[in-house]
Amino acid sequence: PIGPWREEAQVGTMSPAIALAFLPLVVTLLVRYRHYFRLLVRTVLLRSLRDCLSGLQIEERAFSYVLTHALPGDPGHILTTLDHWSSCCEYLSHMGPVKGQILMRLVEEKAPACVLELGTYCGYSTLLIARALPPGGRLLTVERDPRTAAVAEKLIRLAGFDEHMVELIVGSSEDVIPCLRTQYQLSRADLVLLAHRPRCYLRDLQLLEAHALLPAGATVLADHVLFPGAPRFLQYAKSCGRYRCRLHHTGLPDFPAIKDGIAQLTYAGPG
């Protein structure tokens, strides 16, 4: 009876010892990846809890904040209000001011007659593009989630942009792109922003090529190409011979240590 008791005691005393041995590794991982851990807590755990408690999606809560704190008809003030809410209240996972400056500068520089945005989300990048459009410019923006699209629609109209300037299409990019020419009278997109799901970027770029919606010289911008990343998209753009590629390095809003980037492609033509 003494032998088994000693074995059990040894097993019982070994468990804390093993845990203690792994403690430095755990601490090292937490320190090294602390920014990703904070991001996970804010974007998954806290967001899910608030969704359950409020019965509203994060985009709907953000719009409620905008309604009470932003100036209607002032897109710049609305964007600043969203940035403040994301930094101080709930992380919105939006484009943010650093990437936003890159986007606005490129739109102003290219002066596109027609812009196609895939991934409206809450409407943040939509307002950035609409602000920078040249006179007579048109923006078509596509959002697959009807509930999120409803929030974006209200935000766009609150900022003062009408349906003639900014048209929001509800549907998946895979279904919408083949219909752009016939159903939405879009014969060419001088500038395209890919801001929906990085795993869909390559498929949708090839759809745009297949339906001849990219004129020579068109600019394609792709967000989040480094985090969470779009390696197949970048590999295709660099190797197919139809694009000149440039990468604008940035960080995530409120998480500058998490490196991300916007890819800028210039289409040379079908070749």
CATH for 165: 3.40.50.150
pLDDT for 104 equals: 98
| Torsion (CA) 80, 81, 86, 89 in degrees, nearest 10 | 150
In this predicted structure, what is the pLDDT of residue 145? 98
Of the candidates 139, 138, 136, 110, the residue with the CA atom closest to the CA atom of residue 217 = 110
CA dist 166 and 139 (Å) reads: 5
In a domain, 219, yes or no: yes
> Residue 141 has what pLDDT?
98
Residues for the chain: how many in total?
A: 271
Residue 206 lies in a domain: yes
Low-confidence stretches of the chain (pLDDT beneath 70): 1-15, 19, 26, 29
Residue 85 within a domain: no
Total domains in the chain come to: 1
Structural domain contains residue 1? no
- pLDDT at residue 68, as a whole number: 97
- Alpha carbon distances (Å) from 92 to 47, 84, 130, 191, 259: 9, 10, 20, 25, 17
Residue 4: predicted pLDDT: 52
Domain range enclosing 106: 95-267
Helix (H, G, I), strand (E, B) or coil at 182: helix
pLDDT for position 24: 75
87 domain-assigned: no
Residue 103 lies in a domain: yes
Does 184 reside within a domain?
yes
